[in-house]
Chain A
Amino acid sequence: MRIWVTGIGVVSPLGRGAGVTMDRLVAGDRAFGELGLFPVADMRVRIAAEVHGLTADLVAPAGEAEGWSRTDAMSVLAVREALGQAGLDPRAKPVDLILGGTTAGMFETEDTLAWLSREPSAITPFKKMLSHPLSSTADHVHEAAGPFRRTRSLCSACSSGANALLLGAAWLRAGLSDCVIAGGADGLCRLTYTGFAALSAVDANPCRPFDRRRAGLNLGEGAGFLVIEPERTARARGARPIAELRGWSVGAEAHHITNPEGTGRAAARVMRAALARAGIGPADLDYVNAHGTATPLNDSMEAAALREALGAEVDRVPVSSCKGQIGHTLGAAGGIEAAISAMAIDRGVLPPTIGLEEVDPACRLVHVTEARSAKLRAVMSNSFGFGGTDTVLVFAAPGHFPDPEAAPRRSVVLTGAATVGALGVCGTAASGAYLDPGPAPAEGPVAFQPADHLELSRARRLDRAGRLTTVAIQAALREGGLDLAAPGVAETTGALVGASFGSVDASTAFMRRIYDKGAKYASPADFPNLVPSSPVGHASIYLGLRGPVFAMADLGATAESTIESAIELVLVGEADAMVAGSVEEASPMIERCLGPICTGIEHRGVRAEGASAVLVEAEDAARARGGRPLARVVWWGSWRGDRPDGLAEAPPPPAAGEAWVLVGRDDERLRALVARSSWAAAPQHALAPRSGDHAGAGGCAVAAAVSALAAGRIRGALVVGGAPDRTYALLLEAASAVAGG
């Protein structure tokens, strides 16, 4: 099945629009200037590549701009452009949205957080804080440019946009969608601006990718989205292909939270895998759009990786980085650079690396320093993020290469579960206790001794969310008997863990320090922990997970979102095993300013802390290693908006034996949904009264379902979860109910 790119939308510091951005890139223009968005009084670095004159009220509904962000505005404009070019109206045809990012509404909320931290008595629910969660951008794009059928929000730091496209490609290949719009968006904010400066990663002057004198990156901002569709359905509706998205791969370096793995071996592995997925070799490649940040460590690592992955062809294939013109747009970069790669093929042009004058001997490649025409058969786009998530996409000229084989859909099973909460650190069996009658958990932090579970000398950089995440993943792997040290296992095992709000308290402390003491006292060690993907990134480094690793967020349905996405990645073979779940650390700031507006008024459970993780595996891989499937994934789905018959397609409960409906947090809407389904008569259990009301409650429900299925208490379980305007459903059966296992 060929995947066509049929629409592109870009908002960049060089202009609003994909076409104008590409024109100016090819012309060699640079977008750097004195930063005007916020004051940088005491900083050595004063420049950025800013999108000028853009505010949230450009796209927000009348009177709502206070809760919308500049990131939202850039996303909405880019998504509208891409849908327009593709000739798509999402009201007429189902379109799915996947959005990668890191900062969302940080710019709009960071000063409020710092102020709140000085006024401990202030508890006003700030409408403004609605733009803070990572998922708020997808929610607002859904509202202003949708509606979309499904939405997902993910973060892998600077490879976020590329991973959004990767998940979209996996959906198309698995037949889970006929049309996806995916990409990334990030607006500039004080937090990233001071954070990268604290890491000494920023050049005070316009940057010089691959140059001997390169001294760091410049920050930029923007959004880049691509519409991707299977050729068959795109052709049927008369769409034109701009390029094909042919290959993709994601892998974690499991090396260091900020520094790339210097030899480039990890990145080279991902490049080779992306070419293999594309069904082409280095000899077919005519251009590489490099990550090329202009930091000393990235560029030499990337050059080494290209040398290893492309072999002798590296001396033929032209390479360039657009970061010398638009800066590093962080979570947007993977989306914008995917757009540039596709446009390079369509226009037959190689965009240049501006700022490169004297090539570093450690970065010896075929550099393009002036744009030139070239017929491009295939193009590789590299994205590398904090925490070491490397993602590579491969685009090709439409129809040039043979039709790639369709993906066999694999049977997906769950082989382990773990929870960290009121009942302690529980494995599969013990997690079932959340289904039994018992007291409500205590409010606030759970009693959890990291030293009982982690080597603290190796875990010293992990904050509380990182430790909860790592312990939950470690326990799920142990429960499933998956040994990462066995040959080839680490490379095919990944993790998706998210938090609904991210590290609000740590971001607050970081910002307050900057306001109180000045930007030069921003903490370099704390900064990387503020990225939403930090907990799962740390877990990957600590445990040695080298498969797909990123964070996702979807308010109170964050765990449901990671678990379903993990199932989807395993289904099409992006990984053999994925640990998926969510973590929510006790957060006074969330309780003060987000709790009252986001959790509603229903009392569903005590606000508590918790983490959950389940081990999702391809059944063939699990059995081949001697693992024991505990539950089989029979059906799953997710959707935006109200669909009273959303469970109509869900198979009925198994004919023999008990079957239960499990929900993380009880909710009228979910009850009504189940009441209209073939599961209406099944006993229902809500987890939050026992596990606490937090973003991990849905993950606890899945863990408890696995526990009850493994123990033979039930033969089937329907887990439903949701948050405002979104629903997830997952149907599990005892693994032995279908096959002989």
Chain B
Amino acid sequence: MDASELRQQLKELMVSELNLEGKAPSDIDDAAPLFGEGLGLDSLDALQLAMSVEERFGVRIPEGDEARPIFASVNSLVEHIAKAQAAA
């Protein structure tokens, strides 16, 4: 799977799993922060997203502080998934 396909699938997953009503995958900014400002997600979304990413892409996201840089943006999340998949 190339990076742009992965990116598209991740955004579709976010819209459906986080019930981002009224948002299309294309509305999600690649570089914008996912939590707080930006998309306005919170810790409950982080848990749901981590579970869904593991289910969909087979990639585990570590808990706690280690998750923070991975969840910074769509870009960082795509990077983490791609790297983990390549290593597998």
Contacts and interface: CB of A to CB of B under 8 A. Distances in A.
> Do A and B come together as binding partners?
yes
Interface of A: 198-200, 256-259, 451, 456-457, 459-461, 517, 520-525, 528
A517 B43 CA distance: 23
B43 A525 contact: no
B63 to A, nearest CB: 6
A525 B18 contact: yes
Interface string B43-80: 11101100100110000000100000000000000000
A259 B44 contact: yes
Nearest to B17: A525
B48 A524 contact: yes
A528 B17 CA distance: 15
B24 to A, nearest CB: 13
Contacts of B21: 451, 456-457, 459-460
Contacts of B20: 460
Contacts of B45: 525
Interface of B: 17-23, 42-45, 47-48, 51, 54-55, 63
Contacts of A517: 55
Contact of B42 (A198, A200, A259, A521): A259
Contacts of B44: 199, 256-259, 461, 524-525, 528
B47 A200 contact: yes
21 contacts: A198-B47, A198-B51, A199-B44, A256-B44, A257-B44, A259-B42, A259-B44, A456-B21, A456-B22, A457-B22, A460-B18, A460-B19, A461-B19, A517-B55, A520-B51, A521-B54, A521-B55, A523-B48, A523-B51, A525-B45, A528-B44
A259 B43 contact: yes
Contacts of B55: 517, 521
B48 A525 contact: yes
Contacts of B17: 525
A550 B21 CA distance: 27
Q: Which 5 A-B residue pairs are closest in the complex by CB-CB distance?
A: A456-B21, A524-B47, A525-B48, A460-B19, A460-B21
Contacts of B51: 198, 520-524
B63 A200 contact: yes
B15 to A, nearest CB: 10
A44 to B, nearest CB: 10
A457 to B, nearest CB: 6
B11 to A, nearest CB: 16
Nearest to A518: B55
Given A521-B54, A524-B51, 20 more contacts: A199-B47, A200-B47, A200-B63, A257-B44, A259-B44, A456-B21, A457-B21, A457-B22, A457-B23, A459-B21, A460-B18, A460-B19, A460-B21, A461-B44, A520-B54, A521-B55, A523-B48, A524-B44, A525-B17, A525-B45
Contacts of B47: 198-200, 524-525
A256 B42 CA distance: 10
B45 to A, nearest CB: 7
A636 to B, nearest CB: 39
A331 to B, nearest CB: 21
Residue from B19, B21, B51 whose CB has the most chain A CB atoms within 10 Å: B21
